[in-house]
């Protein structure tokens, strides 16, 4: 994947894996003005999965604010699903975080776990 040269050196590529309805999540994120700008690709299974197991959404975030937009959009999509919202996993460089909400504290914890700078830190 080729990233935008302006952000290539500072961005974190995040893989988003819903355990079901990946097309629905892709459309939801595409309709969200803040999250839409973060999307870079939608594809098949990760290298370690069998073909057709699930689909992944790739995003690029440069700071905590961008990650916040992504997590809030994912949480909104999850909230509108059935009684048991799908599990959504974010992954960067082998670090895996399951998203279960979008409070400020949860977003900050996700950013720290994924090694993404806070909004006021340089990327």
Instruction: Give the integer Cα–Cα distance in Å for 112 and 108.
Output: 6
In a domain, 84, yes or no: yes
Contact (Cβ atoms closer than 8 angstroms) between residue 13 and residue 26: no
Residue range 45-67, pLDDT digits in tens: 555 555 445 588 888 888 888 88
Instruction: Give the integer Cα–Cα distance in Å for 78 and 85.
Output: 5
In a domain, 41, yes or no: yes
What percent of the chain has pLDDT above 90?
Answer: 3
In a domain, 121, yes or no: no
Whether the pLDDT of residue 8 is over 50: the answer is: no
| Residue reference for tokens 């370690």 | 48
In a domain, 4, yes or no: no
As for how many domains the chain has, the answer is 1
In a domain, 120, yes or no: no
Contact (Cβ atoms closer than 8 angstroms) between residue 30 and residue 41: no
In a domain, 69, yes or no: yes
Q: Which domain CATH number covers 86?
A: 3.30.70
Residues recorded for the chain: 123
In a domain, 123, yes or no: no
User: Per-residue pLDDT averaged across 97-110, rounded?
Assistant: 80
Range of the domain at 42: 12-114
In a domain, 38, yes or no: yes
Query: What's the pTM value of the predicted model, to 2 decimals?
Result: 0.71
Whether the pLDDT of residue 120 is over 80: the answer is: no
């Amino acid at each position: 994947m080729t990233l935008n040269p302006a952000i290539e050196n500072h961005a974190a590529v995040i893989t988003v894996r819903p355990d079901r309805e990946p097309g629905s999540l892709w459309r939801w994120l595409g309709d969200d003005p803040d999250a839409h700008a973060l999307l870079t690709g939608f594809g098949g299974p990760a290298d370690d999965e069998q073909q057709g197991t699930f689909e992944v959404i790739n995003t690029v975030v440069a700071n905590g604010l961008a990650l916040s937009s992504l997590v809030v959009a994912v949480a909104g999509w999850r909230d509108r699903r059935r009684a048991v919202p799908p599990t959504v996993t974010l992954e960067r460089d082998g670090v895996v975080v399951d998203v279960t909400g979008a409070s400020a504290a949860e977003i900050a914890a996700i950013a720290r776990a994924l090694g993404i700078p806070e909004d006021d830190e340089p990327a």
